[in-house]
Amino acid sequence: MKTCISLCIAAIGLISFSYAQEKLEIDTSLSQLKWSGEYTFYFGGHDGTINFKEGYFVKSEDVITGGEFVIDMHSIKCDDIKTADANKSLVDHLKDPDFFDVAKFPEAKLKINSVNYHDPTHMKIFADLTIKGITLPIDFQAEVDFHKAQMTTKFKIDRMRWGISYNSKMRDGAISDAIAFEVTLNLKKINK
């Protein structure tokens, strides 16, 4: 009898918890992920974009507490090289095994585990980032604009930790181990 009562209480608690959470989907056509990589020994580098495949925030009691975002690695683009052949060459190289190995790992993922709020619009996010099948913890600062239904952030990762191991043999062509990301996430508009 006690076991039955305990199970009923646990079930009610789970149902209440699931109703307290809300899933807020992002608009992938309006959300943006910019990347940039710099040369190690002189100024310059490359930059571009990658598309989100899907994603959502978890909202609990009017604050963001989690979320998960899937990135389509096939969509990687370079914005700074204007010559078509050179641009294609770089993008193909970024998709190679010594960079993102897109044929084997077509998706990357960011999963928000927890959020520490500094104030109602500024926060520190603790997440797991999966690239090339390797999942590692990261943290970064973010800001929410409630009027635009938008979150923005900038952060860098050490690419070597995720096995993005390309290393030019030429000193002048060496690229930094840091990859920078600038992210804008826009929520889907709800038609009322």
CATH code where residue 39 lies: 2.40.128.110
Tell me, yes or no, whether 73 lies in a domain. Answer: yes
Number of domains composing the chain? 1
The rounded radius of gyration (Å) of the Cα atoms in the chain is 20
**38 touches 176 (CB < 8 A):** yes
Residue 106: per-residue pLDDT: 98
Q: Is residue 91 part of a domain?
A: yes
pLDDT computed for residue 158 by the predictor: 95
Identify whether 110 is part of a domain: yes
Q: Are 121 and 115 in contact (CB under 8 A)?
A: no
Q: Is 82 inside any structural domain?
A: yes
- Domain-located, residue 191: no
Dmax of the chain from CA atoms? 75
Q: How far is CA 168 from CA 138, 160, 173, 176, in A?
A: 26, 14, 6, 10
Burial 98-120 (b: 16+ CB within 10 A, else e): ebbbbeebeebbbebeebeeeee
State both tokens at 28.
Answer: 């992938």
Q: Residue 152 has what pLDDT?
A: 98
For residue 118, tell me if it sits in a domain.
yes
**Predicted local confidence at residue 2, as pLDDT:** 52
pTM: 0.84
Range of the domain at 40: 23-186
Per-residue pLDDT of the chain (192 residues; tens, 9 = 90+): 555 544 444 444 444 444 578 999 999 999 999 999 988 777 778 999 999 999 999 999 889 999 999 999 999 999 998 899 999 998 999 999 889 999 999 999 999 999 999 999 999 999 999 999 999 999 999 999 989 999 999 999 999 999 998 765 544 457 888 999 999 999 997 654
Residue 5 domain flag: no
Q: Is residue 16 included in any domain, yes or no?
A: no
Spatial contact of 110 and 128, defined as CB atoms under 8 Å apart: yes
Phi first, then psi: give them for residue 93, nearest 5 degrees.
-65, -40
